[in-house]
Structure 1
Amino acid sequence: MEFVLDYDVKTCDKKLNNLKKKNNIKVAFLILAHKNPSQIVDFINALDCEQTAFFIHIDKKSNIIDDSCLNQIKDKKNVIFTQKRERITWGGYGDVAATLLLLEEALERDEFDYISLHSGQDLPISNKYEILEFLKQNQGREFIKFFSHKIQGWWPPKPMDRINYYWFIEELGLEKSWKIYEMQKKAKDKRKFLKDIKPFAGWQWWTITKECGEYIIDYVDKNESYCDFYKYTLLPDEGFFQTIILNSYLKHRVVNDNLRYTEGKSGEMHPHILTKKCFNKIINSNKLFARKFDINVDKEIIEMILNRIM
């Protein structure tokens, strides 16, 4: 499978040349879900094999955990639902907390080489064995999209405001928290970022090594103030993990590509729902996964992709 990535080959290869390559690798797929249970089943069936396992967190507000559709995967030994469930509020810390739950669960269960974070509306767009082979050939690299908070065309118009001011999304919701944010701006009452740490931003979804996952959990356990800071930021899931990784020794292993195909316009708050009109762009994207899909919007595109990769 051809795959072109935007990274410094010499730098990465120098850092990775001492890593022992394995004949077979194991991958843990972490899934954050709240709707459309049949799509969770499709994702798992497309990737299910001896080398993969699936860890699923269902939003505490959602009742899909009781949907009969999930019965066909609940008895699988390599499918684990988290017992603890976080209440997810868009823009709040819940996504970070749920991701940490999944990460800890995966690290405690087995010796995985890679850990890949997904929403319940993702699909693989390559065959599972092609995905495993790609990760095998790129062992030791961390695939996570990152950029500066000063990026243009992000939301809100001044992206640094995500971390420069207090946001109380979990407590008050976005609308009320926005009003408090406006008051802080008017008063020029900015927060100070964490000492000796450079903030980064990026997309929520990533594919990282076990070593990187262990580093994240260890860092969080030892730096409670870091979590406390991000609990009162806007959309912390789009920066929390990038900032940890890119301020660590692992930064030289990061490939600035999260292997996912998405569509959306600059400044928009959500990616577009992919439809059958997107099919050719998806399959020619040179990515491993795509999002986001919605069976209630376009079922045909899901069937087209599954027929192609299975």
Structure 2
Amino acid sequence: VRIVFVLTINGRQVRQVRRLLKAIYHTRHYYFIHVDMRQEYLYRELFPLESLLPNIFLARRRFATIWGGISLLQAHLEFMKEVLNKDWKWDYYINLSESDYPIKKLESLEIFLTEYKGHTFVKSHGHDTARFIRKQGLDKMFVECDTHMWRLGPKTLPTNIVFDGGSDWVALHRGFAQYVITSEDSLVSGLKTFYKYSLLPAESFFHTVLHNSEFCDKWMDNNLHLTNWRRAQGCKCQHKHVVDWCGCSPNVLTTHSLDKLMKYESKATYFARKFDPVIDQDIINSMDVYMFGKDMRDVRALTDYWQNEYHYLDDKEATNDVYLTFYSSFSRRSVIDLLPQTTGQCLVTPTQIVEANVLYQRDRFHGVIVKYNGQVKDGGSVMLETHLVERWDYKVLDPTGSMGRFINIQIGSNFDVKENIFRNYAKLLGPYSEIEVKHMWGPGPEFTVSVAFIDPADIVAVAHDVDIPKSGHIGSHKPELKLPLRPGVWMCKLMINYKVVLESRFLVLPLTTYHAVPLNITQAKLFHNGPQGGLYAERKFS
């Protein structure tokens, strides 16, 4: 068989995408890559692959897909139409993301699909269809608008239709894909209309068409994927900001998952998800060693991973001004620190931030590498790199009693409750950052700790109580603060029984740009005067 691998990718993990392509690449297969329309950096970095390899193509029509949205199904229907119209002689359509990775050699997948050629592989929810319909919200009317899925009200299900669904990771035979795209019968057109106003349509549309069409006897209840579900962590309504519904997401596989993956060695499972090199690159290295027999001993930077956070070619409106402000500030600081080491001869003025990458070593955050252009005193130009390393500034004032359970505290933003990690990896904060605190405790008697945030003007912005259970605990809390935050050094204090037991300082930096353009005086006053009325909450805490 010949396969068209359809990669729907997002984010900035260009190194991992290249690694995935290398793991599944062969000249007899095809690779159709869709980069989310909001991710220009990833698109720019991958586009040169087209000229290097004739069986790789990047989609020109791009979608902004969101979790649960109709846009993902619309995108796949568009992709199918495009790969059917190409002169590619493929037999199977298999979709993957940047979070997928093979757990078997490509040859074994080819042998399996050849043996069952003509079948379509989708994973079903099980036997309780009524529960599936309720859980997926198929009896509710949804519409996607402004990158949000809005729930409008109840919806009547069509009669005489067998509904099915489960996973949106599929392996569709070409004959079935051709039917879905070209058929004008009422089944296909009617279901396309129905799913246009449904939540998570890509998890159910293909399954339902398959069960109600002439292809119903060519169905295999297997999507060739292992998905790492830990629902206690993965089902915390983390998608509420983009959809009026509570959903679940799988967790990242780690080195502790290796035994679990090995159990699928004899099963018809060829891919696993999710993998994330920011959280655990070692498990991906293990896949290359154990599954593919690669000798990794001479691979440079095997335990290092870096991921781009900023590039000067990025869309200005999408630029994170907090990041750019920090990078600019520390580039200036680094050239000042450089002067004494060069007896004053290396007088450089930073002129442009070129790019910034977060660095992980042995699966631990190891700072940010900032590359920037500079002008030398004699008129020449240089390019420099500065490595910024994180330093935590907290002090335990009383290590006795319940504080004997304390392990760590961090303050940042964009906290991923599913993986217990800040997706603002460097934890860079500005006036409009929604700060969050992560605290870690060992096992012991349960107790209550009070958490207070004090701004640079010594105003208590907010305080709240947190109950710490008996077991080892990783907790997070996002205080509801009116923005903007006052720039400067903030303090987070932990109190037990009204006694301060820990102090942690963190920096909220004033912005120097807005959409990557220097601030004017009006903007500077607006952004840096603190919240309107001087209060961060509805009541005073001072």
Asked if Structure 1 and Structure 2 have the same fold, meaning a TM-score greater than 0.5 normalized by the shorter chain, the answer is yes
Structure 2-normalised TM-score? 0.47
Whether 2:101 is the aligned partner of 1:136: answer no
Q: Greater share of strand residues, 1 or 2?
A: 2
Letter in structure 2 aligned against 1:117: N
Q: Please point out which of 192, 207, 210 is paired with 1:242.
A: 207
Per-residue displacement from partner, 1:135-176 (whole Å, max 9, x unpaired)? 11221221111236945987x9x325x2211112335724xx
Structure 1-normalised TM-score? 0.79
Deviates more, 1:70-79 or 1:33-42: 70-79
Letter in structure 2 aligned against 1:163: L
Distance 1:197 1:273, change over 3 A: same
Q: Please point out which of 248, 261, 271 is paired with 2:250.
A: 271
Distance 1:273 1:93, change over 3 A: same
Distance 1:105 1:221, change over 3 A: farther
Letter in structure 1 aligned against 2:148: G
CA contact (8 A) 2:121 2:172 kept: yes
2:148 partner SS: helix
Q: Please point out which of 229, 251, 270 is paired with 1:288.
A: 270
1:169 partner SS: strand
Residue 86 of structure 1 aligns with which residue?
A: 63
Q: How does 1:20-59 map to 2 (within 5 A)?
A: 25-35=1-11, 36-59=13-36
Residue 170 of structure 1 aligns with which residue?
A: 145
Per-residue displacement from partner, 1:228-270 (whole Å, max 9, x unpaired)? 3212111111101111111111111111011101111358310
2:252 partner SS: coil
2:285 partner SS: helix
Structure 2 residues without counterparts, runs of 5 or longer: 236-247, 295-542
Distance 2:184 2:255 in 1: 41
Count, aligned residues: 272
Please report how far the alpha carbon of residue 73 of structure 1 lies from its aligned counterpart in structure 2 after TM superposition. Answer: 6.1
Q: Please point out which of 211, 218, 238 is paired with 1:253.
A: 218
Whether 2:159 is the aligned partner of 1:159: answer no
CA contact (8 A) 2:191 2:209 kept: no
Please report how far the alpha carbon of residue 75 of structure 1 lies from its aligned counterpart in structure 2 after TM superposition. Answer: 2.5
Distance 2:147 2:94 in 1: 31
Please report how far the alpha carbon of residue 72 of structure 1 lies from its aligned counterpart in structure 2 after TM superposition. Answer: 4.8
Report the identity percentage. Answer: 23
Q: How does 1:107-126 map to 2 (within 5 A)?
A: 107-109=84-86, 110-126=88-104
Deviates more, 1:193-202 or 1:124-133: 193-202
Distance 1:74 1:231 in 2: 36
Distance 1:138 1:172, change over 3 A: closer
Deviates more, 1:25-34 or 1:222-231: 222-231
Please report how far the alpha carbon of residue 121 of structure 1 lies from its aligned counterpart in structure 2 after TM superposition. Answer: 1.4
Whether 2:45 is the aligned partner of 1:63: answer no
RMSD of aligned Cα (Å):
2.5
Letter in structure 2 aligned against 1:141: H
Per-residue displacement from partner, 1:280-302 (whole Å, max 9, x unpaired)? 21132231111111121111111
2:135 partner SS: coil
Letter in structure 2 aligned against 1:199: F
Whether 2:196 is the aligned partner of 1:231: answer yes
1:126 partner SS: coil
Distance 1:266 1:150 in 2: 19
1:117 partner SS: strand
Please report how far the alpha carbon of residue 96 of structure 1 lies from its aligned counterpart in structure 2 after TM superposition. Answer: 0.5
Distance 1:153 1:237 in 2: 18
CA contact (8 A) 1:89 1:169 kept: no
CA contact (8 A) 1:33 1:59 kept: yes
CA contact (8 A) 1:32 1:98 kept: no
